[in-house]
Structure 1
Amino acid sequence: MNRLAFLSPTEVAALSRHEREERVQLLVQQSHNIVSRAVERHANADGRRLVATVVLFSGGNDSTVLAHLMRQRASHAAHANTTIGLEATREFVRRSCAAWALPLLEFTPPRRMDHYENLVLDQGFPGPGHHFKMYQRLKERSLEQVRRQFVQNPYRERAVFLAGRRRTESARRASIPAVERRGSTVWVSPLVNWTRFDLSTYRLLNPDVPVNEVTDLIHMSGECLCGSFAKPGEREELAFWFPTFEAQIQELERRIADVPGIPDHRRRWGWGATLREPDRRRGASGPLCSSCDARFAPAAPAKE
């Protein structure tokens, strides 16, 4: 492939506009090729059958570009209602999918006890070390519902999940594979070699890509605001732009103020922001937590 397809973010930043546009056209082709090879190898071979191609749409910049790019290829979009996200983002996802005539699956944690409110009432607000639990309860178990909706025979049927993960997002993501199979689910990352400059160029080339005002205001999707990886000043920023979210958090803090067994530091949202950076990095993240991963320093991109 043309050398423009494999450049570091610094090299991409130095390209002319024409070169950036040429690079994005190459990356678009590469993204579709990644999906095609994944389907051919993992879903349509040896008697297996592809039953669904689901683009995971958080409402953030990466997933919006991905959903636009794959809107005619995906059979469905899926959005996690984490029970601690912003309604404005959920409305953006709904409007976008409706405009594209793309069926949307909006899922919540399957068990009421796994909703964010109940998790906090039981154990207090999460910090970095509790992030993977939040991911598992608020997203992973819910996404499993999507897989089960389509896959009846896990030995013969495959569901493809398209995720907006990029290697230049963070050190955590620097080595993610373009394709990986987990049981009957094939995870595909079509944007794996894209940089943030490529996302912006794609929008210039495609002015019909919708914009979520939430990402313009707080620079993340707002799909999940569990607070595990909250940074200094984040709560104040959220309270300024989304006072209803702040009211929700204040009410939870009031309700756990006197609950026995909850450590004092876990009685406030975003307490991990006060930790030293090495301690903040200890929490594990999941494959759908790009907003959390993006808080860590980016690494040099790896090639497919």
Structure 2
Amino acid sequence: MSSRNRRTANAEDMFPGMPDILGKKPPKATESSWAARTLDEAIARSYELLDQAIVTFSTGDAITEVAKGARAGQFINYGPRELAGIFGLYSGGRDSVNTMHLLRKYMKDRPLFRHFFQGIAHVNTGTAVAETTQHVREAVPQWGVKLHELSPKVTYLDLVLGNVRATVGPNIGRSVWLGFPGPGKLPHNVMYRRLKDEPLQRLRASLVGRDGTRRKVMYVGGMRWDESDKRFRTAEEIDVDGGIVWVSPVVHWTNAHMREYRARYRCEKAHRHQPHRLCGDEALPVNPVTENLHMSGDCACGAYAKKDEKEERRFFYPDHAADIDLWEKTVRDAGIAANVWGQAPPKGFVQAGAEQPASVMERLCTNCKPSIPGQDDLIDQWRDTGLITPEQHAAFTRPAA
């Protein structure tokens, strides 16, 4: 059992080729999914999950049972199932890179299912580190895969400025949100739903329309039980939500499996690497933002931002931090009290307006969570490894005047 899984007791790495398992069974895992596996066995299980999902939702009839009303208990046949398309979801993050690399290999090995694969979708929130957007735009076509770059209908700044208005219900015309989001489920949920979920729902609607019972779009993402306590509780192998089938083929992979996979496919030759380290058809791409920030950098809504995160971003990506500075100035000039990115609003300031959205499963946000007491700070790590000087560390962590 690998101690690289934080739910195990030891602190030593396991050797490549050894089996690994989570120290505790996830609530939504079956006995067969929660098992010790080598990396090759974990990959085989991923293939089984994709096979199962594709066959289930592309064959047979869509039959549902009426849950309530006069016809409760009766079954309705909506006709033959259709799979309108399969899309990989790529943020540019480490788990996302592994998952898309695996999906591409799977499609090469499964010619019978290849016609379902429509390419890779990336949600451009409009707040990303520019280098992440550039990585996605360059790396995906180099793979020979079509890129679908999706954008939200509203901008992040319009949300923060209160320019996004309710269009239905009793509060038509009122702002749905105001000010920078601080930590908390509701602010993050609003940002996620408007900036990430809405573009994916629009793509689903363009292919399925209102026939989501019979026809489905399949989104393949990189959720894993081992990536966070939140994912440990909520992630599923196959999750149906209306006209969308969410498939997490690496859900059972441990952190050890992910590292071993990167070591297996990442080019480490002593030569001049190709852009994104795509030095061959089998090479695993590298997004430099993940190497520097330890996150994909695809979103900067600021909900759950850690202390001094803006300065961490500024160290590597000053243009991105300058964008955040400009957002703050714009919000201050608009007279909005919640005008500091990444911080909670002033006490008593009401942000939620006309819309109290239903909670959505935040499947694309892996690192968005409250800070854990005792968690190492990246700035501390940079100082301890010599990446920055003690003086720079002091400047980054100095309290605001």
CA distance in 1, matches of 2:12, 2:98: 19
Residue 135 of structure 1 contacts residue 285 of structure 1 at CA under 8 Å; is this kept in 2? no
CA offsets 1:106-152 (integer angstroms, 9 cap, x no match): 11112xxx211111222221112311000000001111122123224
1:190 aligns with 2:266: no
CA distance in 2, matches of 1:125, 1:8: 33
CA distance in 1, matches of 2:160, 2:345: 17
TM-score, with length taken from structure 2: 0.65
Residue 302 of structure 2 contacts residue 341 of structure 2 at CA under 8 Å; is this kept in 1? yes
Q: Which has the larger radius of gyration?
A: 2
After TM superposition, give the deviation of residue 13 of structure 1 in Å: 5.4
Aligned to 1:163: 221
3-state SS of the aligned residue for 2:231?
coil
3-state SS of the aligned residue for 1:290?
coil
Q: Which residue of 368, 371, 375 corresponds with 1:292? A: 368
Aligned to 1:301: none
Q: Which residue of 189, 208, 225 corresponds with 1:132? A: 189
Aligned to 2:160: 120
Distance 1:84 1:252, change over 3 A: same
Aligned to 2:311: 236
Aligned to 1:63: 96
After TM superposition, give the deviation of residue 39 of structure 1 in Å: 1.8
3-state SS of the aligned residue for 2:38?
helix
After TM superposition, give the deviation of residue 196 of structure 1 in Å: 2.1
| Aligned positions of 1:237-256 closer than 5 A | 237-256=312-331
CA distance in 2, matches of 1:59, 1:66: 11
Aligned to 1:300: none
TM-score, with length taken from structure 1: 0.84
Distance 1:234 1:13, change over 3 A: same
Q: How many residues align?
A: 280
| Aligned positions of 1:80-119 closer than 5 A | 80-110=123-153, 114-119=154-159
Aligned to 2:120: 77
CA distance in 2, matches of 1:58, 1:154: 25
Stretches of structure 2 lacking an aligned partner (at least 5 in a row): 21-36, 62-79, 108-116, 163-177, 267-282, 348-358, 374-401
3-state SS of the aligned residue for 1:125?
coil
Aligned to 2:45: 30
Which amino acid counterpart does residue 362 of structure 2 have in structure 1?
G
CA distance in 2, matches of 1:253, 1:259: 10
1:200 aligns with 2:199: no
Calculate percent identity across the aligned residue pairs: 32
Distance 1:180 1:221, change over 3 A: same
Distance 1:184 1:284, change over 3 A: closer
CA offsets 1:45-85 (integer angstroms, 9 cap, x no match): 31101121111000000001000000152431110100111
After TM superposition, give the deviation of residue 103 of structure 1 in Å: 0.8
Distance 1:233 1:20, change over 3 A: farther
Distance 1:31 1:273, change over 3 A: farther
CA distance in 1, matches of 2:249, 2:370: 18
Stretches of structure 1 lacking an aligned partner (at least 5 in a row): 276-282, 298-304
Distance 1:256 1:148, change over 3 A: same
CA distance in 2, matches of 1:274, 1:121: 16
Distance 1:118 1:288, change over 3 A: same
1:18 aligns with 2:51: no
After TM superposition, give the deviation of residue 268 of structure 1 in Å: 0.7
Which amino acid counterpart does residue 187 of structure 1 have in structure 2?
W
Which amino acid counterpart does residue 138 of structure 2 have in structure 1?
R
Which amino acid counterpart does residue 205 of structure 1 have in structure 2?
R
After TM superposition, give the deviation of residue 157 of structure 1 in Å: 1.5
Residue 107 of structure 1 contacts residue 142 of structure 1 at CA under 8 Å; is this kept in 2? yes
Residue 121 of structure 1 contacts residue 252 of structure 1 at CA under 8 Å; is this kept in 2? no
Which amino acid counterpart does residue 364 of structure 2 have in structure 1?
L
Moved over 4 A (4+): 11-14, 293-297
CA distance in 1, matches of 2:366, 2:248: 12
